Amino acid sequence: MGAYCNEDLGSLPVYSSGAPTNELRFSKHVYDNVHGNIYLDPLCLKFIDTEQFQRLRELKQLGVTNMVYPGAVHSRFEHSLGVYWLAGENVQRLKTFQGMELGIDNYDLQTVRLAGLLHDIGHGPFSHMFEREFLPKVISGSQWSHELMSVNMIDHMVDTHNIDVDAQMLKRVKDMILASTEFSQLKSNAEKRFLYDIVANGRNGIDVDKFDYIVRDSRACGLGCNFQFQRLTEMMKVIDNEICYPAKEYRNVHKLFATRADLYRTVYTHPKVKAIELMIVDAMVKANSFLEISSMINDPSEYWKLDDTILKTIEIAPDPELAEAKELILRVRRRQLYQFCNEYAVPKDKIDHFKAVTPQDIICSQKHQSLTLKEEDIAVTNVKIDLARGRQNPLEW
């Protein structure tokens, strides 16, 4: 059939099955619950309408946090759309007020938008937990990062779907994604260097990625957020190839990093969240040899198939090789979690020479002979919460 309809054409839409959907759509508006109406341009839609990008719908922005904060079910998909939109709004404002002076054109606008859209395309199941907790346990000395996978995934998407995009634009997009990492090759005097600080700012950490996730995460978890990114966007100005803000806005900038730190304390490193993360990691480690999860991280054509549904795959699999992993997931479902024992805040004067605590350290410090713990009985999480610049003050950059 060519179309589906009902006798009352005034009440129901008509759907055509005769032409590919992407030929019927060249641009689109979607409604986002944080930023309102978002316009999706034709080039970005070519990336969005792929199975690789749609996979982000199956990656929760906050991993397993929704098992403690039930509202935290938002995905990397909506976050990526939000960053896309904010990145474009920032460039548009600079173009309006300093466009002639800085030489900003629509090419720059498109490039930064695309970088915002695709900056998280390389994330794995349960977001940061995958690369920070799981991979180091199954691959010794793992240096894998979601930013590098994002770069590889972009090339894979372009080749697989024959996306017509300028090669120089694609290179700049990938440079912008890597701008805040140790893999960045950018120099401080690069042409239009300020554009590379919009999505991922490695200089001072003020970027639209944080603008979006801080507001989005706070709202999803039912927490207040008094940080106003709109004011920073209105006040920003490029000076000496850097995005700058008036000194009087230092309180608002401080709120950005303080709110981020509060989210780490109350949400991202909540004791129950960490307990569930540790259990999911243990389950994935036990399932790794059978499902070969870690073998997929270097091949984008395989990697895109990995998402949060790996948990359900393990849970319902009949294979006896997954029995231990299934038992751990069942414990999570039944709220039989690893028990939180204690925490220790490292004094500021000792933090520079502090060595990460290990289960072996705990075992060696046992004093009671009536209860003997083994290394496998203990899991230690060393958490570092700062203002995104380590010991440095981001307000001084």
Smallest CA-to-CA distance from 149 within 310, 286, 306 is with 306
Whole-angstrom distance, CA of residue 393 vs CA of residue 241: 21
Core vs surface per residue 201-225: b (16+ CB within 10 A) or e: bebbbbbbbbbbbbbbbbbbbeeeb
Q: Is-catalytic flag, 146?
A: yes
Core vs surface per residue 32-49: b (16+ CB within 10 A) or e: eebbeebebbebbbbbbb
Whole-angstrom distance, CA of residue 111 vs CA of residue 195: 9
Whole-angstrom distance, CA of residue 176 vs CA of residue 187: 12
Catalytic position from the list 74, 79, 123, 146:
146
State the angle between helix axes of 271-291 and 323-333 in degrees (0 to 180), rounded to the nearest 10: 160
Smallest CA-to-CA distance from 233 within 92, 381, 352 is with 92
| Interacting residues of 306 by C-beta distance below 8 A, sequence separation 6+ | 124, 125, 293, 296
Whole-angstrom distance, CA of residue 128 vs CA of residue 88: 26
Whole-angstrom distance, CA of residue 142 vs CA of residue 386: 24
Query: Strand runs (DSSP E) across the chain, as ranges?
Result: 3-4, 15-16, 28-32, 36-40, 237-239, 242-244
CB 192 within 8 A of CB 183: no
Whole-angstrom distance, CA of residue 76 vs CA of residue 304: 14
Whole-angstrom distance, CA of residue 203 vs CA of residue 188: 10
DSSP 62-112: TTTGGGTSTT---BHHHHHHHHHHHHHHHHHHHHHHHHHHHT--HHHHHHH
Question: Which residues are catalytically annotated?
Answer: 146
